[in-house]
């Protein structure tokens, strides 16, 4: 059975808040450390790449092996936290890595966070200077320095429910539970649930042009499968393949989302949503030549962001083609200008 790589975490380069102009040699070395990308898999392996490395050439340059499958990876306050699934009576486990004196990550010496939580610690995100951890149907705010849980909130009264997706936007956390079409809006500081809304009616309308049997099947097992916040918009991927987005209001207490359904989606479930910025290296030379005539539209183009959805098949909302069935099982990436 093939190993699944399913966790990616971008980690910032070393940053020092010291204002001392006379840097030591070791401090200068640490400043030269680049950003890294961490990849975890279900064999308990973690690969750490330099952000500029060619992964094909340096796939095993930095590697650590842990005793259990990796559930999630999160970076906050110069620490990389890793949660693991465990079948032992100890339950889920949480560890973290720190940098060595040279500024590189010390993968040989991890520290364990003592938590009395049996369910998987997934997902995890940095929120309000704390590590926000989901476990079963509850949220926990962990101080990344003292590694003490400071707040806890239960999101559902049903023990069988668990958090499936979680993203942060400013001081607001958007959460969806597994097998649910509801998005919960939570205050990142207090973990208070401010409001919740469903996307089922929007998806049902988007599927109105589908074959009746297909629409009934997709609506019968409908759930939110992916969340993303990008450029003040909340993007939502669904098991029906429909991708929708809405502007995020600054005031959440009486906010009513206004959804836009993407004209293209997936014939199968949307598996993930992510955002990437456009590389501008190819444009830099031309920009320098035109530096005396720079205008605002040209500058704005340098900061382009694309939202990418990954999922099974490709489908359009307005035109349904029956002859595309052979491609339904082929994975597709769809790009939108954010």
- pLDDT tens for 44-89 read 999 888 877 666 666 555 789 999 999 999 999 999 999 998 877 7
Between CA 279 and CA 156 the distance in angstroms is: 42
Compute the average pLDDT of residues 301-323.
76
Nearest to 110 by CA among 124, 97, 120: 97
What is this structure's pTM?
Answer: 0.84
Residue 232 has, within 13 A of its CA and on its CB side, a CA count of 5
**191 or 11: whose pLDDT is higher?**
191
Share of the chain above pLDDT 70, in %: 78
**Predicted confidence (pLDDT) at residue 287 exceeds the cutoff of 50:** no
- pLDDT tens for 180-238 read 999 999 999 999 999 999 999 999 999 998 899 999 999 999 999 999 999 999 999 99
Nearest to 250 by CA among 202, 198, 306, 194: 194
Confidence class of residue 261 from pLDDT cuts 50, 70 and 90?
A: very high
Supply the mean pLDDT for the chain: 84
Task: Give the pLDDT of residue 217.
Answer: 95
Nearest to 99 by CA among 32, 54, 7, 19: 32
Confidence class of residue 146 from pLDDT cuts 50, 70 and 90?
A: very high
Task: Give the pLDDT of residue 49.
Answer: 83
Between CA 118 and CA 116 the distance in angstroms is: 7
Task: Give the pLDDT of residue 291.
Answer: 44
Confidence class of residue 297 from pLDDT cuts 50, 70 and 90?
A: very low
Task: Give the pLDDT of residue 147.
Answer: 97
- pLDDT tens for 109-126 read 999 999 989 899 999 999
Nearest to 317 by CA among 207, 235, 185, 221: 207
Task: Give the pLDDT of residue 2.
Answer: 52
User: At residue 77, what are phi and psi to the nearest 5 degrees?
Assistant: 50, 50
270-277/93-97 β-pairing: unpaired
- pLDDT tens for 15-48 read 555 444 445 555 554 555 678 889 899 999 998 8
CA dihedral (17, 18, 24, 28) in degrees, to 10, reads 30
Between CA 303 and CA 288 the distance in angstroms is: 16
């Amino acid at each position: 059975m093939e190993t699944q790589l399913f966790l990616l975490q971008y980690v910032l380069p070393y940053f020092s808040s010291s204002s001392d102009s006379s840097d030591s040699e070791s401090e200068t070395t640490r400043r030269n450390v680049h950003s890294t990308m961490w990849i975890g898999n279900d064999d308990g392996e973690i690969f750490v790449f330099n952000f500029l490395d060619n992964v094909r050439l340096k796939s095993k340059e930095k590697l650590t092996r842990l005793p259990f499958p990796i559930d999630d990876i999160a970076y906050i306050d110069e620490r990389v936290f890793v949660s693991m699934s465990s079948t032992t009576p100890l339950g889920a486990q949480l560890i973290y890595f720190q940098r060595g004196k040279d500024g590189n990550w010390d993968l040989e010496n991890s520290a364990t966070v003592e938590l009395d939580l049996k369910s998987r610690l997934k997902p995890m995100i940095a929120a309000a200077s704390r590590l926000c951890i989901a476990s079963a149907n509850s949220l926990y705010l962990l101080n990344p320095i003292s590694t003490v849980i400071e707040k806890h909130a239960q999101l559902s009264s049903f023990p069988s429910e668990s958090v499936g997706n979680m993203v942060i936007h400013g001081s607001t956390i958007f959460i969806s539970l597994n097998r649910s079409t509801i998005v919960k809006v939570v205050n990142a500081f207090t973990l208070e649930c401010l409001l919740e809304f469903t996307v089922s009616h929007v998806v049902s309308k988007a599927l109105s042009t589908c074959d009746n049997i297909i629409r009934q099947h997709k609506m019968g097992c409908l759930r939110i499968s992916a969340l993303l916040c990008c450029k003040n918009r909340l993007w939502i991927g669904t098991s029906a393949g429909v991708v929708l987005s809405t502007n995020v209001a600054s005031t959440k207490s009486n906010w009513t989302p206004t959804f836009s359904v993407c004209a293209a989606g997936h014939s199968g479930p949307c598996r993930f949503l992510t955002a990437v910025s456009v590389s501008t290296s190819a444009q830099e030379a031309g920009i320098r030549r035109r530096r005396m005539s720079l205008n605002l539209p040209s500058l704005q183009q340098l900061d382009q962001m694309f939202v990418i959805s990954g999922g099974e098949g490709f489908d359009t909302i307005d035109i349904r083609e029956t002859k595309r069935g052979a491609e339904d099982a082929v994975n597709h990436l769809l790009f939108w200008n954010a």
